[in-house]
């Protein structure tokens, strides 16, 4: 068994789409990012890569590379899962914690699970999703940022 940890944070700005787990959460206020800014998928990819002892997303998908501009994070996740599988690891479970002041993310959990499970090649039941606010504290609490933490467990196939 191998455990992995990932974390990502993005600034929020008006007039952008907020994507989390490949699902549009808001059309009014979204992430400032080089890629599509899907903070949840970025944290998830780093957790998977960390568990497999592979290079992180900053190395695999550099933000100064033009081909990553506006890039679909779901496609990057597909590549990462392929790399993890090539190392002969199976995803046992992933657990995600979203920190966002608004809007509430819970109503989107089933849509996020539906979007992620085929990409992970796993049942939706192995994807843990939780959301919390930061109680008005720090940049997340002030609605200026979204932050996601992820842990995952991989099992080596024998
Ligand atoms: Mg990111």
User: How far, in Å, CA of 144 to CA of 85, rounded?
Assistant: 36
**CA 25–ligand 1 middle distance (angstroms):** 16
- Supply the CATH number for residue 115's domain: 3.30.1330.50
- pLDDT, residue 62, reads 84
CA torsion 69-49-87-36 (nearest 10°) is -20
The overall longest dimension of the chain from CA atoms, in Å, is 49
pLDDT tens figures, 75-114: 999 999 999 999 999 999 999 999 999 999 999 999 999 9
CA 59 to ligand 1 centroid distance, Å: 12
Query: Cα of 153 to ligand 1 centre, how many Å?
Result: 21
Give 158 Cα–ligand 1 centroid separation in angstroms: 33
- Per-residue pLDDT at 158: 81
Domain count, the chain: 1
Give 120 Cα–ligand 1 centroid separation in angstroms. Answer: 19
**pLDDT < 50: residue spans in the chain:** none
Q: Which domain holds residue 148?
A: 2-156
Ligand 1 centroid to residue 9 C-alpha, Å: 6
Q: Which residues 6+ apart lie within 8 Å of 63 measured at CB?
A: 34, 35
pTM for the whole structure: 0.96
Query: Per-residue b/e over 24-44, b at no fewer than 16 CB within 10 Å?
Result: ebbeebbbebebbbbbbbbbb
């Amino acid at each position: 068994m191998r455990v992995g940890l990932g974390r990502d944070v993005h600034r929020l700005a008006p007039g952008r789409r907020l994507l989390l787990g490949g699902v549009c959460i808001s059309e009014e206020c979204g992430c400032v990012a080089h890629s599509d800014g899907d903070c949840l998928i970025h944290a998830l990819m780093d957790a998977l890569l960390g568990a497999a002892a592979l290079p992180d997303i900053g190395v695999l998908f550099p933000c100064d590379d033009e081909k990553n501009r506006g890039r679909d994070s779901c496609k990057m996740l597909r590549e990462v899962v392929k790399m993890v599988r090539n190392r002969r690891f199976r995803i046992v479970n992933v657990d995600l914690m979203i920190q966002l002041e608004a809007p509430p993310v819970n109503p989107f959990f089933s849509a996020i699970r539906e979007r992620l499970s085929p990409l992970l090649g796993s049942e939706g039941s192995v994807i843990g999703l939780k959301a919390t606010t930061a109680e008005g504290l720090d940049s997340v609490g002030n609605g200026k940022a979204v932050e996601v933490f992820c842990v995952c467990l991989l099992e080596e196939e024998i």
